[in-house]
Chain A
Amino acid sequence: MYFHYCGIPILIFFCERVKIYRRNNAISHNKLLFQCFYNRCSAPAYHLILEGILILWIIRLLFSKTYKLQERSDLTEKEKEELIEEWQPEPLVPLVSKDHPSLSYDVVTGPPSHRIIVNGKECINFASFNFLGLLDSERVKLKALSSLKKYGVGTCGPRGFYGTFDVHLELEERLAKFMRTEEAIIYSYGFATIASAIPAYSKRGDIVFVDEAACFSIQKGLQASRSFVKYFKHNDMEDLERLLKEQEIEDQKNPRKARVIRRFIVVEGLYINAADICPLPELVKLKYKYKVRIFLEESMSFGVLGEHGRGVTEHFGVNIDDIDLISANMENALASIGGFCCGRSFVIDHQRLSGQGYCFSASLPPMLASAAIEALNIMEEDPGNNIYIHKNKCILPSSLIYGGFCRTPGLKTVGEPLTPALHLQLENSTGSRTNDLKLLRAIVDYSLDRQIALTLARYLDKEERFLPPPSIRVVVTVEQTQEEMEKAAQCIREAAVKILK
């Protein structure tokens, strides 16, 4: 195309030159230049003009842009308006059917303590994570009340801007002392704790090895970190080692890059979704072998496992300094609100400027911090005794509780004997999650009618990375007596026989 257009003038130009040259043929070589100039002057005016135009044309062609084969297809304003007119967005939210299983919540009237009134029926609570029964403790309540009288309810600011109260500092110090770590940091929301802690350290390009059964807040933390996530099979150390080895080989290919990629293993001490304990000693071995840091989420195990209730590290006798970061919420065993992270100052202090849920959120109401301090006091009072294990051992061996639930036909118990929250799953699934949930809900309703408050473990089906099978979660606390537990086990058995046929 280009040559097609510019070729014609070039052709004309050369014809002109040749004509002039021929006319000057007879002239000797050294006179050529002069002759050329002379000829130019004597040439007719139209020649000069024509040549001038041609030269300008060539220059223009040389510097002008090449032609585009296609014409620009910019939309006109009218077309744009039409597009805008035509566009129909999806509704903001899809319509929820009225009989959606989780649309109508169970309503609790009165305190959510050991004896709980659910949907108007008084029941024994086998659903709340009130492991140590501290929710009903008069001492905790009075401490919270006196704190309320001093500080009011809200903090009206984030920690940085006059939202730090002396009780926050006290609670952080107490938690650090209790866990025997250098430093602790508190968050105002349990869920936000590990979800903020992970992205404070692990950034884009870093690698996190995570157990498949990790809870939702870990998953959200990983998503916020934008790191590269590798899931290993639940509690399967061989699978983890396989992934670590793979990474090692990868690192050898590009050692420069490997030197800046941080690696983390994120595990739960006691899995809320699987009700079993992580093999911490093996994890620590892998940590030093492959130089990976360990983040441990202990919301379920804090206050429950270990001789003093310090969690999985104490349970296994692992040196707590070998774990880089421990996070737990204060909403289960401590029966307050919020969460904390603890570890070495080198690690923890970084969150004070980088933990999003710490920096950008209002701080924990001081009365809730005071309640947590008092709950810690109660936990520490009896040295050498973890109230959870101690009381349960006095009343009945935990294996008995476990056994009680185990003997239910049609249901299988998931979890280790030590765990405070077991899962009852269907032995034979009907094949559809909705139907399974309906069956389990029927068992829950049956028990509710017989003074046993149970709950289904709820998940966001589409959002969970690995959706656990539907289950009823049974929580064992120190307040339940042997009779109550036997009654509950009996009740579930009856329900299972009746409903599952």
Chain B
Amino acid sequence: MELQAVLMAAGGGSRMPDLTYNTPKPMLPVGNKPLMWHPLNLLERVGFEEVIVITTKEVQKMMSTDPKMKDVKMKLDVVCIQEDGDMGTADALRHIQQKIKTDVLVVSCDLITDVALHEVVDLFRAHNATLAMLMSKAHDFTETVPGQKGKKKTGEQRDFVGVDQSGKRLLFMANEADLEDGLSIRKSIMRKHPRMHIKTGLVDAHLYCLKKAVVDFLADNKSISSIRGELLPYLVRKQFSKTTNCPKSKDDADDQTQKTADGSTNSTELLICSRDEPLLQLAQERSCWNDHRGDMSEAYHGGKLRCYVHIMDQGLCYRVNTLAAYIEANRLASKLLEEPAVHPSAVISERCQMGPDSIIGAQCQVADKTSIKRSTIGNSTTVKEKVKVTNSIIMHGVTIEEGCNIHGCVICSNAVIGRGADLKYCLVGNGQQIEAEAERTNEVIVGTDQLMEI
């Protein structure tokens, strides 16, 4: 077997508390399908037959009842972890180390993309890389986010990503938070790769191909808890550290002494640096190919640990971990899905004006003289007469009474909007009831118990 897929669906959605109060993030509807359905669909389309899903018990329960999840034909091996325990992604990977028999493809549940996955995996295969990841140029979110006051991006930290001239080899990765005085680059990197492009406007898609040795390394190094935050920078740094560039003359005896001297960390480091078999070495020596030119070193500078990145410049790639991303993803979900926009079981009266960008879920009831444009309407929602819904996301089981005007809103499940209400850029939480003739603009309407959570 070449690759095993692991879907990380235990995240809490800490950056959008209003939405995830009642529904866990993996089950939030995007385009009327649960959020985790999208990466699973990507894996299924590409050809995976089995996926290991790491999630919480709550999500597992919801998964088993959701009809859309039954569309997934792959075999899902669900592993439950405690939701209150602070388990990072790397901890989760360590938890399932016994199940991992070969190289892994780690995907996050909030990734919605149409990338050609073979581009990432080809880098992993062709260069015998330890890590291959996917990144995308960040698109600005143009939609107004409900409840947002003032300019955004106060707390957003930039990621600095350094790639080599070909744009494929990952040389440097750091987050602004870790750089206190400035961005410092080691001389060893500059000597080997004198030309480096540093990019800041990239979104990490959280899709990683990792060698099996890395998972074994994680099992030994219990201090690493997050893949993105700790493991990745560590691997990228390790490419250029002295111990991994083990020259051929160094035999195992030396490695043994190092092991005992420095303790367990050194042995685990050596595990990662993929010891190429002698025949592969011979083939590389005889091959007249080099990945760089201008200096006297062989291909890959003799380094055994290599990290690669595929940067998408076209196509969709979203990580739905903020409200803005959620809205944007819903907007574009209709483009991603192959199913018809209007579910066959929805009852839509003829005098309803529906725009082409809208998605109507199952068992909806849409009455006359309504206008639905660029919106997503969830399952079992009732929309009464003379309602105007534009640019909004309406989740399941919502009732919208007559004469409402809903613009740019996110209305969570089981909410009731009273008649004649005029909502602009609002976020209505779960099960909330908006009174009739209400006029709200740019507000987050949630229950009082939710406010207590902080």
Asked if A and B bind, the verdict is no
